[in-house]
Chains A and B, each alone.
Chain A
Amino acid sequence: MSENISNQSEYVLETRDICKFYGPLKANDHISLKVKRNTIHAIVGENGAGKSTLMGILTDTVKPDYGDIILNGEKVVFRNPMDACRHGIGMIYQEFMLAPNFSVFENIIVGFEETKGAFVDYKKSREKVEKICKDYNFNLPLDEVINELPVAMLQQIEIVKVLYRGADLIIMDEPTSTLTPQGIEGLFQAMRVLKAAGKTILFITHKLQEVFEVSDEITVLRLGKYVGTYDPKDLNQQKLANLMVGREVILQANKQPGEPGEPVLSVRNLSVYDQDNIQRLKNVSFDIHAGEILGIAGVAGSGQQYLSKTIFGLSKAAEGSKIEYLGKDITGNTPRENRADHIGYVPQDRMVMGCDVKTSIWENTIMGYHRAHGFKTRWLVDHKDANQFTEKVVDDFAVKVQSINSNVGSLSGGNIQKLIVGREFSQDNKLLLIEDPTRGIDVGAIEYIWGKLLEFASQGAAVLLVSHELNEVMELSDRIMVMYNGELYDGGKYGEFDESQLGLLMTGGVAQKYETIE
């Protein structure tokens, strides 16, 4: 009996020599790891380390070239993704797998409905969902349509969904990337409840801090290879970062607070209404000075993006708003005029707004500046000039490309971001509007872009940094403002407030509204 239990309970999952090659790329190169039952097991690694491929193999969305999966001590071969699900592996994807316009309840049951013949047995399904919510302490509005629900709630729906499907081993892919500090705390709480109920969690992340907060064990992957499994007590963030990257990494941005110069951008009483006539910005006023990085923190959807978009001319400022740039009124100017005025913009959505993935690297590098700054003879594009410029950006920003004629879509996310940032930084811009410059890219590239951003500001440009990554705002900004519900609140100077104070502001905790001193 005891023999049986120890056999059963020590490792819930084991992979042996898992390999997956894409041509010459070794996405997974003989990965063997063991996951103890009833633990929270973190899997960390840079982008391209093979985490996603490995998880794809575990859920059978990717077929391994070689290797075995051992589940509860038995070798299993999955025939299709449903097979993995039936074996009790539940996956929570980074992009939530939820259908808009569907109610929470429908989203949970779809595909696994309790049935009466061909009909859905709504009553029985409902009871099952309600029982799970009660057992695991989730409080979900089952009949509401998911569209308006906050991200943290959506994630809980995903968790209930995999539990409903009978998952025993729950894989979470970068679950914290869209959450607020408070939301992350809530998620960790839920993870602990799941663990207490006997579930095992595989937690994929590249945020080091979180790893130490919840995990019982940490597995590091690097370049498709298994580096090792560690006890969090034996590591610290710095050591873990070094293991992930394989060399010494600087985790702090090493910011040198400088003296701000003349105001470059003055925004007064800026209000913006969206297409549904909801006010997204409410009388926002602030200045940015030369050589200064102004960081805007806030929960996603608080109105930050309307700020940078409106300044750049992508959305319309309401009556009475005033945006002044170097003493000139630019309210209502088009993006083209703004580019010509040396205002740069790095949009959050790099794949859609930042570049065109289906065109070449050189085209993307001059994109937006093809009129404002030359690159053309009178009628035609000057290829020589454009190529020279592209080569320069690619060199200066260490973008790994095979040829500047290949499509941008062939680059990795980090390299695309380096290219876009490089494009905006290399144009002698006096003002840079930048949104989430390091979203979803790995430690090495973050380090690089942070360094470039600080260097850029120190040369006298003004930077408006809008980021959902609180840590990023805190590391880089000379001055921090927190946006909540379309209004700006003072978040102090560099290093003045700590994370929990700013987190409180982000969720509407008491604070003084930010007023510009006239």
Chain B
Amino acid sequence: MELLRVMFSTVTLNATFRMSAPLILGIAGYCFCRKAGIMNIALESFMLIAAFFALLGSYLTKNYMIGTLFGVIAAVVLAALYGLFTFHLGANGLITGVGFNLSGWGLTTMLLVMIFHTRGATNVGAVSYDTIDIPVINSIPFIKDIFNNQTLLVWLAPILTIIAYIVMYKTTFGIRIRALGLNPEAAETAGVSVVKYRWIAMLVSGATMGLAGAFLSLNSLAMFTENMSGGRGFMVMASTMVADGNPLKGMLFGLIFGYCQALALTWSSLGVPTQFTGMLPYLAVVIILFITNFKNLKKFGKI
């Protein structure tokens, strides 16, 4: 019973809002890639490496904003590398992505040991985000427990989503990027430079993955642990694919995954084995992918 009750408790919902933020941040940018027809499985490494550099930046400058900037720059550089490999050098995106993800893990762990002499850096002296107290929200019961005292990055997630939505559906950039994903040749004949727009989408998704990475290492405790992104990059990818590049729908799926992660936390505090609760978010990915693709199952075996 207790397990059911916490499913709707403010603690869980508060954590949902918080934990879905890195996913939603990533989704807001990756939606442009999706619409432009770019499949990028290296998101995981973008997030992980950004998380590390955000921590490093914050550690060096004692400023979480500059730390975040470090993370964003790291991810944008990675996006540029990935773009260079796949758009211009003809590399296979899948293989490049696997390479990025594995090297990302290795690189961050190596740097962690080299710089901080540890495999899990906490309390190294980096500064994390402050929470924001919004008086208006604070006066509303229930709501205040969910939304108040969150950090800037958490609030940035829905804000970026709305901006992404407006850009996607109301601007010339949006209509062109959607057109070129559907039929690149047609876009080219309409004077839309496919390469240029793909580059923009790629770099934008790099930047938002950078924010997502900074969230991981700087949002609550300033810390970094080996492979701390833990598949969130893939969740960003899955959510965006299921939402077909619509940022608002993407946010919905981000919230669902965030909810599962939050539930995993609250349940494990009630004594549910962590081996089980740890499964929840990933199980949710599988279930959502299965449900959204269920219609394809019926087509199986027919032309």
Contacts and interface: CB of A to CB of B under 8 A. Distances in A.
Real complex partners, A and B?
A: yes
B192 to A, nearest CB: 5
B303 interface: yes
Contacts of A66: none
Contacts of A274: 302-303
A314 interface: yes
Contacts of A314: 303
Contacts of B196: none
Contact of A97 (B175, B190, B299): B190
A85 B172 CA distance: 19
Contact of B187 (A95, A111, A113, A316): A111
B186 interface: yes
A99 B179 contact: yes
Contacts of B185: 95, 97
Q: Which of B172, B298, B299 has the most CB of A within 10 A?
A: B172
B186 A99 contact: yes
A490 B283 CA distance: 57
A106 B189 contact: no
B299 A275 contact: yes
B173 A110 contact: no
B189 A113 contact: no
B169 to A, nearest CB: 9
A275 B170 contact: no
B171 A118 contact: yes
B172 A275 contact: no
B90 interface: no
B301 A111 contact: no
A149 to B, nearest CB: 15
* Interface of B: prevailing SS: helix
Interface string A271-299: 00111110000000000000000000000
B303 A111 contact: no
B191 A97 contact: no
A506 interface: no
A99 B183 contact: yes
Interface in A68-124: 81-82, 85, 91, 93, 95-102, 106-107, 109-113, 115, 118-120
A467 to B, nearest CB: 20
A315 interface: yes
Interface in B50-97: none
A309 interface: yes
Interface string A42-77: 000000000000000000000000000000000000
Contacts of A95: 185
- Tell me whether chain A's interface is mostly helix, strand or loop, or mixed: loop
Contact of B298 (A81, A91, A275, A315): A275
B214 to A, nearest CB: 27
A115 B298 CA distance: 44
Contacts of A97: 183, 185-186, 189-190
Given A110-B190, A274-B303, A314-B303, A98 B172 contact: no
A120 B191 contact: no
A111 B191 contact: yes
A82 B191 contact: yes
Interface in B133-162: none
Contact of B171 (A81, A82, A120): A120
A111 B192 contact: yes
B187 A110 contact: yes
A100 B183 contact: yes
B216 to A, nearest CB: 32
A97 B185 CA distance: 7
Contacts of A119: 170-172
Contact of A120 (B170, B189, B299): B170
B182 A81 contact: no
A91 B172 contact: no
Interface in B176-231: 176, 178-179, 182-183, 185-192
B191 A99 contact: no
B175 A316 contact: no
A118 B172 contact: yes
Find the residue from B170, B176, B182 having the highest chain A CB count within 10 A.
B182
A118 B189 CA distance: 21
A81 B194 CA distance: 13
B260 to A, nearest CB: 30
A335 B167 CA distance: 50
A269 to B, nearest CB: 19
Given A98-B186, A99-B183, A111-B187, A315 B192 contact: no
Nearest to A162: B189
Given A102-B179, A102-B182, A316-B302, A115 B172 contact: yes
Interface string A297-318: 0000000000001000011100
Contacts of B301: 316
Given A97-B186, A100-B183, A118-B171, A81 B191 contact: yes
Nearest to B174: A120
B186 A275 contact: no
Contacts of B175: 106, 109-110, 113, 120
Q: Which of A115, A120, A277 has the most CB of B within 10 A?
A: A120
A172 to B, nearest CB: 14
B205 to A, nearest CB: 19
Nearest to B181: A99
Contacts of A109: 175
Interface of A: 81-82, 85, 91, 93, 95-102, 106-107, 109-113, 115, 118-120, 273-277, 309, 314-316
8 contacts: A98-B183, A99-B182, A106-B179, A109-B175, A111-B187, A115-B172, A275-B303, A314-B303
Given A85-B191, A97-B183, A120-B172, 18 more contacts: A97-B185, A98-B186, A100-B183, A102-B179, A102-B182, A107-B186, A109-B175, A110-B175, A110-B179, A112-B191, A115-B172, A118-B172, A118-B173, A120-B170, A273-B302, A275-B299, A275-B302, A309-B303
The 4 A-B residue pairs with the shortest CB-CB distance, nearest first, are: A111-B190, A99-B182, A97-B186, A275-B299
